[in-house]
Amino acid sequence: MLMTASTAQAQRKILLHKSRQIRKEDAANLKTLTQSSKLNGACITSLAQLSRFIQWLRLLFHMKIARNGFDGTITPSDEEYEHMAAINRSEAIDRALEREATNLRHETKLVLVGNPQGGKELIMHQLKVQFAEGYDKTEERLKYRPAVYQVVRSLISSITNLLTETGVTLSAELTHDFAILLHELDAREDGISSDAVKAITRIWSCPEFSKLYVRNFEIDFPQYAPYFAQEAPRIAEKDYVPSEADIIRLTRSGGGINETRFDWDELDIHLFNIKGYVPQHFKERWYHQLEDATAVIFTVDVSLYNKPSPERPSESILVHEFEGFEQWVNRPGFANSTIILILNNFTRFVSKMAYAPLEKLFPDYTRNESDPELSARQYILRRFKNMNHQSLSIYSFWVDLDSSDNQHLYGALKKTLSRVQATKAQERAWCEGLEARTESERPSTNGLSVAVSTERTRSRSGGRKR
């Protein structure tokens, strides 16, 4: 009997569990059916309205024909043919505009802003190389070879200036390398000599110079100096052809707005790059196109925190970056956008803190001795978030853009943008459904409703006056 009772109880539990599953499946199916029926109803309503509009046009056309006495045997006049052709052209234009509006609603618009030295140019060109058009032809790459040579020469000049300004004592071998670099600058020949390459490699890797480079903030080095110092042997080869990695690390001067389009898997990317100073006529012509961007990507080189601001030498240049961030993210046109904050040169930032403590430049910063790196990151990120007066969503990434092709960064960016686009699509669908329900439930406007509405408005106005 006990076995029979326990068996019956077990069977009841199984049946109860299955009934719950069936009810859940029925609820899910009913929800899906409801959504599809709403969508089908909206489509049917739109098609019905379009059909009534077309019938109205046909009625007007036939009425015009009847007035002209057209009985089917008379050939329509040229004016009537032109009138119908104009109607067809107008309908074609309307359909094209509707398709374009649909595409614009689904594109992912990105706006790259920030200091050009922050790494945004590298992000732009890496995205173009990996997902859009690259630099495939050898003839096209060869055009950039003089520019690469110029960057290496700038690197040599910065190395010699830093050694000269500090007056550091070098070994006999490094002193000889220093003389070779000075001679290389005076030679002014095309290309880079093999002796200069060896001198660059030895000086760059020696401990004396490494300490000077980390602590330096007075001598300007090329933006991607470590990369070009590492690739100098390859660049000095006689048959050297610039690679895509070389080209995208070239610093390009000039201002204005550059844009590019490419497909990033399921994302249709429209990328705008704001470069330096933008004239007023550019702003009038372009800035309205940046409104309602999916995301604003702001890049900043955090390793320059110990460099003084050009306008205010007593302050860190990072304070200027905070103010620039504040100006961009609080624009009214970006009120519905997401902010992506790229904090570049993280490794150098951490290594500098041992020689230039963050609290000396930012008195309100409190160092956490147990984890100074984490506390410094939290402080800088908090300073940026305090500038976000529109309470926009902010995604931050601490990276070293110069270290690799940054596949991990772009993978995280793609996931973030896909999530943002999915959220926007859900909000748009919800708003459209709410508008459709409001339109269907709205009563007809008659004299009584207008009078009641007017009386309510007066009573509210009188209440405010009292």
Q: Is the pLDDT of residue 397 over 70?
A: yes
Per-residue pLDDT, 33:
61
Q: Mind listing the pLDDT tens digit for each residue in 174-208?
A: 899 999 999 988 876 778 999 999 999 999 999 88
Per-residue pLDDT, 450:
35
Residue 256 near residue 280, CB atoms below 8 Å: no
Please name the residue that has the structure tokens 């058009």. Answer: 133
Per-residue pLDDT, 187:
79
Range 96-113 average pLDDT: 65
- How far apart CA 175 and CA 178 sit, in angstroms, is 5
- How far apart CA 113 and CA 145 sit, in angstroms, is 28
Integer CA distances (angstroms), 456 to 433, 443, 464, in order: 28, 17, 12
CATH superfamily of 108-125+252-424: P-loop containing nucleotide triphosphate hydrolases (3.40.50.300)
Per-residue pLDDT, 442:
57
Domains of the chain by residue range = 22-70, 108-125+252-424, 145-241
* 189 vs 241, higher pLDDT: 241
Q: Is the pLDDT of residue 29 over 90?
A: no
* 22 vs 241, higher pLDDT: 241
> What angle is formed at CA 452 by the lines to CA 451 and CA 454, rounded to 5 degrees?
65
Q: At what angle do helices 145-166 and 172-187 cross, to 10 degrees?
A: 130
* The total number of residues written for the chain in this structure: 466
Binned at pLDDT 50, 70 and 90, residue 70 comes out as: very low
- The CATH code for residues 145-241 is 1.10.400.10
* Averaged pLDDT score across all residues of the chain: 78
For 404, which DSSP code? S
* 54 vs 161, higher pLDDT: 161
Strand 295-301 versus strand 338-344 pairing type: parallel
Range 222-241 average pLDDT: 91
Per-residue pLDDT, 81:
65
Range 272-295 average pLDDT: 74
Name every residue whose Cβ is closer than 8 Å to that of residue 135 and which is 6 or more positions away in sequence.
Answer: 129, 141, 244, 247
- How far apart CA 312 and CA 314 sit, in angstroms, is 5
Of 74-83, 196-205, 346-355, 415-424, minimum mean pLDDT range: 74-83
Per-residue pLDDT, 460:
39
Of 198-207, 214-223, 444-453, minimum mean pLDDT range: 444-453
Strand order across the beta sheet in which 394-398 lies:
256-264, 267-275, 108-114, 295-301, 338-344, 394-398
* 349 vs 405, higher pLDDT: 349
Per-residue pLDDT, 52:
73
- How far apart CA 347 and CA 211 sit, in angstroms, is 14
Domains 108-125+252-424 and 145-241 share a fold: no
pTM for the predicted model, two decimal places: 0.63
Nearest alpha carbon to residue 300 among 317, 279, 321, 329: 321
- How far apart CA 112 and CA 274 sit, in angstroms, is 6
Q: Where are the alpha helices (DSSP H) in 298-370?
A: 317-329, 346-352, 358-361
Q: Is the pLDDT of residue 301 over 90?
A: yes
Reported as type and span, the H/E element at residue 145 is: helix 145-166
- How far apart CA 358 and CA 356 sit, in angstroms, is 6
Q: Is the pLDDT of residue 212 over 60?
A: yes
Binned at pLDDT 50, 70 and 90, residue 337 comes out as: very high
- How far apart CA 308 and CA 316 sit, in angstroms, is 5
Per-residue pLDDT, 66:
62
Range 209-218 average pLDDT: 84
Q: Is the pLDDT of residue 4 over 80?
A: no
Per-residue pLDDT, 143:
86
Range 61-88 average pLDDT: 63
